[in-house]
């Protein structure tokens, strides 16, 4: 599952808009951090998405994105116009179709490629939804509908769908979405036939006011996915930083393990109730590993994006990226379903999964060095905003190099100082199986 948030200008320290997302999926579902430059396409060109082939746009914007290795679309991303989007799986009372269609991540990438603004991205998604529908497996096991948080340097929208139906609400102040519907009756835009359809389907009783979430949400999944406590936690953290929130706060929010802080143990709870998600069992927390993270700082023409390119934001380093010139250094081959030491994502997995032997102790060792590196990068990124493209890219290159060096140093320390914990029911066998499937040489716990 996932968590996405945004804080608007009046809520942040420097008048910027700050956006963040963790993408939570199967622990072995490696994510590729990629940049696809702007491109013009010939009339009549077609585009192969994950399952469906559709008409290509004449022009597509440059897009930075993080995508599961087997999917055409993206879990989160930003374009060269300053639009940023994250999506969430939502489970509704509308039928979830296995028939090939556009999956939520396809809709996200298509909107980034085609829209100049957050509102334009909303229109792109709802138009594509009307023309092609949403359908097909989003993972080996799951079919779901989608919600979105869409932002640009001027504002943000929440867009939630239930099959062909949708409602959208303009964000005021700040917002967070998780894996449940949140829009009630106070939406700003909606599918034109939605309310009549809800009455026809028996989801809206005579005399009741229409409420999108009440009519279409599946209450079982709203509980089972742990979306309510995660969203409540995100909103509380956002509220606590009213008027003061900055990019470092966004990093901390995505790394949040609840009140336990650095003492958090991922084997100590059953449901998906933490923003920084660690998988733990096949019953309730299989698709619950944070496998990629993104933060965006949008202020007029100044747009800086911060990506880990790795799973587990609590063990990773956020690196600054600017969507101009050469955007990303070489990150190795696109990661696949099995371990590849040449891939950034899989190299970091050795660190993350070794840290799982004793996560509180591992984070106590790692956090001071990680935080010091990020403070330095944040300060220099602010200075880089007034400099040239080459200097900004040099800082991006340095950040990815420092991330690699931090991983290498921590892996040596973890191997030497973290003892394997006693085997725990559900948790230890789960990770042993995941490591075996991925061909990872270290066992996490």
Active site residue ranges: 2
Show the DSSP H helices in 185-296 as ranges. Answer: 194-200, 212-216, 219-224, 227-240, 247-254
**Residue 58 near residue 113 (C-beta atoms within 8 A):** no
431: helix, strand or coil: helix
Query: String of b and e for 300-322 (b: at least 16 CB within 10 Å)?
Result: eeebbbbbbbbbbbbbbbbbbbb
Instruction: For the sheet with 174-177, list strands across it.
Output: 174-177, 2-7, 17-25, 289-299, 302-307, 319-321
Distance in angstroms (rounded) separating the CA atoms of residues 44 and 295: 36
Q: Which residues contact 24 (CB under 8 A, 6 or more apart)?
A: 1, 2, 3, 272, 277, 287, 288, 289, 290, 291
Q: How many other CB atoms sit within 10 Å of the CB of residue 140?
A: 10
Query: String of b and e for 377-415 (b: at least 16 CB within 10 Å)?
Result: bbebbeebbeeeeeebbebbebbbebbeebbeebbeebe
114: helix, strand or coil: helix
Read off the tokens for 365: 């060792």
Residue 184, CA distances (Å) to 168, 181, 239, 262, 278 in order: 10, 8, 21, 36, 31
Distance in angstroms (rounded) separating the CA atoms of residues 74 and 104: 9
Read off the tokens for 390: 């080459």
**Residue 66 near residue 33 (C-beta atoms within 8 A):** yes
**Residue 144 near residue 131 (C-beta atoms within 8 A):** no
Rg (CA), the chain: 21
């Amino acid at each position: 599952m996932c968590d996405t948030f945004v804080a608007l200008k009046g809520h942040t320290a420097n008048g910027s808009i700050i956006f963040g997302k963790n993408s939570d999926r199967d622990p072995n579902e490696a994510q590729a951090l990629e940049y696809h430059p702007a491109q013009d396409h010939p009339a009549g060109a077609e585009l192969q998405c994950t399952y469906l082939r559709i008409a290509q746009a004449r022009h597509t914007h440059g897009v930075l994105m993080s995508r599961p290795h087997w999917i055409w679309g993206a879990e989160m991303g930003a374009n060269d116009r300053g639009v940023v989007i994250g999506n969430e799986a939502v489970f509704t009372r509308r039928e979830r179709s296995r028939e090939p269609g556009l999956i939520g991540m396809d809709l996200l990438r298509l909107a980034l490629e085609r829209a100049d603004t957050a509102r334009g991205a909303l229109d792109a998604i709802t138009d594509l939804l009307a023309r092609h529908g949403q359908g097909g497996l989003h993972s080996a096991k799951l079919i779901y509908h989608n919600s979105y948080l869409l932002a640009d340097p001027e504002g943000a929208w929440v867009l939630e769908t239930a099959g062909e139906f949708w409602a959208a609400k303009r964000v005021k102040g700040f917002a967070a979405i998780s894996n449940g519907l949140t829009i009630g009756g106070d939406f700003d835009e909606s599918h034109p036939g939605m309310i009549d359809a809800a009455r026809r389907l028996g989801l809206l009783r005579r005399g009741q006011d229409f409420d999108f979430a009440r009519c279409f949400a599946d209450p079982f999944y709203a509980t089972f996915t742990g979306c309510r406590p995660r969203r409540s936690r995100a909103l509380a953290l956002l509220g606590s930083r009213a008027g003061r929130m900055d990019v470092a706060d966004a990093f901390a929010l995505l790394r949040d393990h609840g009140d336990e802080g650095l003492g958090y143990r991922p084997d100590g709870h059953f449901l998906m109730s933490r923003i920084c998600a660690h998988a733990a069992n096949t019953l309730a927390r299989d698709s619950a590993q944070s496998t990629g993270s993104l933060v965006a700082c949008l202020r007029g023409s100044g747009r800086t994006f911060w990506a880990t390119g790795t799973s587990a934001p609590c063990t990773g380093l956020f690196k600054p990226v600017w969507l101009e010139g050469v955007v990303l250094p070489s990150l190795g081959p696109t990661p696949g379903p099995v371990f590849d030491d040449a891939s950034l994502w899989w190299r970091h997995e050795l660190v993350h999964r070794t840290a799982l032997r004793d996560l509180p102790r591992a984070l106590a060792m790692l956090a001071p060095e990680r935080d010091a590196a990020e403070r330095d990068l944040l300060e220099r990124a602010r200075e880089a905003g007034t400099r040239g493209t080459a200097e900004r890219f040099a800082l991006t290159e340095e950040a990815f190099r420092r991330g690699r060096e931090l991983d290498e140093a921590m892996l040596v320390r973890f191997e030497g100082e973290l003892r394997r914990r006693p085997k725990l029911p559900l948790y230890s066998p789960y990770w042993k199986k995941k490591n075996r499937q991925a061909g990872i040489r270290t066992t996490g716990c």
